[in-house]
Amino acid sequence: MSPAARRPVIEVRGLTKRFGNRTVVDNFDMTVPQGAIYGFLGPNGSGKTTTIRMMCGLLTPDGGTGTCLGYDIISQADEIKARTGYMTQRFSLYEDLSIEENLQFIARMYDIAAPRAKVDSALQELGLARRSAQLAGTLSGGWKQRLALAAALLHDPELLLLDEPTAGVDPKARRDFWDHIRLLTGRGVTVLVSTHYMDEAVQCDFIAYIAYGRKLIDGPADAIPDQVGLTTWVVEGGDIDAVERALRGTAGVDQLARFGTALHVSGTDGALLDRAVEPLRAGAEQSWQRRKAGLEEVFIHLMSGIDEAAAPRRTA
223 touches 217 (CB < 8 A): no
Residue 189 has pLDDT above 80, yes or no: yes
64 touches 18 (CB < 8 A): no
The class level of CATH for 3-225 reads: alpha beta
- pLDDT (0 to 100) of residue 297: 86
Residues of the chain with CATH 3.40.50.300: 3-225
Task: Please report how the helices 171-186 and 141-153 are oriented relative to each other, as an axis angle in degrees rounded to 10.
Answer: 10
Residues of the chain with CATH 3.30.70.330: 231-292
Residue 251 has pLDDT above 90, yes or no: yes
Output 174 or 99, whichever has higher pLDDT.
Answer: 99
Residue 1 has pLDDT above 80, yes or no: no
3 state DSSP class of 267:
strand
User: Which of 3-7, 86-90, 239-243, 307-311 is predicted most confidently?
Assistant: 239-243
Per-residue confidence at 195, pLDDT binned at 50, 70, 90? confident
Residue 200 has pLDDT above 90, yes or no: no
pTM of the model: 0.85
Q: In whole angstroms, what is the distance from residue 105 CA to residue 235 CA?
A: 54
Residue 169 has pLDDT above 90, yes or no: no
Residue 284 has pLDDT above 80, yes or no: no
- pLDDT (0 to 100) of residue 312: 46
What average pLDDT does this structure show over 15-33? Answer: 93
294 touches 224 (CB < 8 A): no
Q: In whole angstroms, what is the distance from residue 136 CA to residue 92 CA?
A: 10
Tell me: the pLDDT tens digits for 92-128? 899 999 999 999 999 999 999 999 999 999 999 999 9
Fold classification of 231-292 (topology level): Alpha-Beta Plaits (3.30.70)
- Mean pLDDT is lowest, of 118-122, 256-260, 261-265, 298-302, for 298-302
